[in-house]
Amino acid sequence: MTDRMIAYCGLDCLKCDAYAATQSGDSNRLAQVAEEWSAKFKVNVQPEHVICDGCKSGRRKSYHCKNTCKIRICCLKKAIDSCGKCDMFPCSDEEFVLKNSPEAEKNLKVAKGLVPA
């Protein structure tokens, strides 16, 4: 088993609260994550919106990842496994993640070959 599961945006799904809550099968934890995300992102997030098995799992994805993530949609369209592999990296679609997650930025720069792993 790997100790990392990097999404298209560079975030590590194994460290995601939604992923952890989903894998635990704890409906109270899913509700807690939904409440936290509602407050943090100023949108109404329901517990069923955070159910996720990982961005690239081919299984369940959070509402955002499945329906509104511009990064995932772009990577799928371009048939690349992360935006770090894109000729346009970094672009405005990635701005929010890069600003809020230094780890995601590093993961994408590693994918791009800009920094060592």
Residue-range domain boundaries for the chain: 13-109
Note the pTM of the prediction, 2 decimals: 0.86
State the average pLDDT for the chain: 91
| pLDDT at residue 3, rounded to an integer | 72
Question: Could you give the dihedral angle defined by the CA atoms of residues 30, 52, 91 and 2, in that order, rounded to the nearest 10 degrees?
Answer: 110
Residue 2 confidence class, pLDDT cut points 50, 70, 90:
low
CA 13, CA 19: separation in Å to the nearest integer? 6
* Mean pLDDT on 93-112: 89
| pLDDT of residue 32 exceeding 80 | yes
Asked whether the predicted pLDDT for residue 89 surpasses 50, the reply is yes
